[in-house]
Structure 1
Amino acid sequence: MSDRGDEGKDLARRELVSLEVEVVSSADPTLAGMKGIVVDETKNTFKIRSASGDKVVPKKITVFRFTLPSGKKVMLAGRALCLRPEDRLAG
């Protein structure tokens, strides 16, 4: 598993919708451990589809672990992603 490193920087500049994600930690304890697929993104939130349905998760207070298509896992603080997706991708 990768920590952050260069892959974390690259992850902040790529499309995140459709990636597998896990909430590693959050200021909202009800979110910790949640796993699913990113199905939508706004400046401040991800919508994650899990076995129990869709949940909107705030980026700013959450640490995520994304699984890349290669299978590598990258952990990233959500506050690093608090931009409109189109602005973050243009980065």
Structure 2
Amino acid sequence: MITPKNIFRHELIGLPVKVAYSTHDEFIGIEGKVVDETKNTIRIETDNSEKIIPKRVATFHFYLPDGNIIELEGKIIIARPEDRIKKKFRKFW
């Protein structure tokens, strides 16, 4: 089960997400569902299109199935998804 403490070790694809903050103003407020993830980007499916957001410049709100909202800086999750799942993380919050 995905929780706030183990979100780093889980697959992000399929989770609802919103870009809460970005150094690039056009990315702020984009929300939808994560449909793909690479080392440096997250692809979000919105109502009418897909947007590619660089992880390095954004802070994301991920909505978990149990109703929790997790805020993650994109810099923390920069890694290939298959490597991030195996990686050990220090406590960032």
Q: TM-score, normalised by structure 1?
A: 0.89
Per-residue deviation, 1:52? 2.8
Aligned CA RMSD, in angstroms, stands at: 1.2
1:51 Cα deviation (Å)? 1.1
Counterpart for residue 27 of structure 2: 31
Match among 45, 51, 57 for residue 55 of structure 1 = 51
Equivalences for 1:59-70 in 2 at 5 Å?
59-70=55-66
The Cα offsets for residues 29-75 of structure 1, whole Å up to 9 and x where unpaired, read as 00101110000000000000001300100001100000011111000
Q: Say yes or no: does 1:83 pair with 2:79.
A: yes
The 4+ residue runs of structure 1 with deviation greater than 2 A are: none
Distance in 2 between the 1:44 and 1:12 partners? Answer: 15
Unmatched tracts of structure 1, length 5 or more:
1-5
Which runs of 5 or more structure 2 residues have no equivalent in the other structure? 88-93
Q: Which has the higher contact order (CA 8 A, sep 6+)?
A: 1
Does 1:73 find its partner at 2:69? yes
TM-score normalised according to structure 2 size: 0.87
User: What one-letter code is carried by the residue in structure 2 that aligns with 1:16?
Assistant: L
What residue number does 1:18 align with? 14
**What percent identity do the matched residue pairs reach?**
40
Structure 1 CA distance, aligned partners of 2:34 and 2:40?
Answer: 13
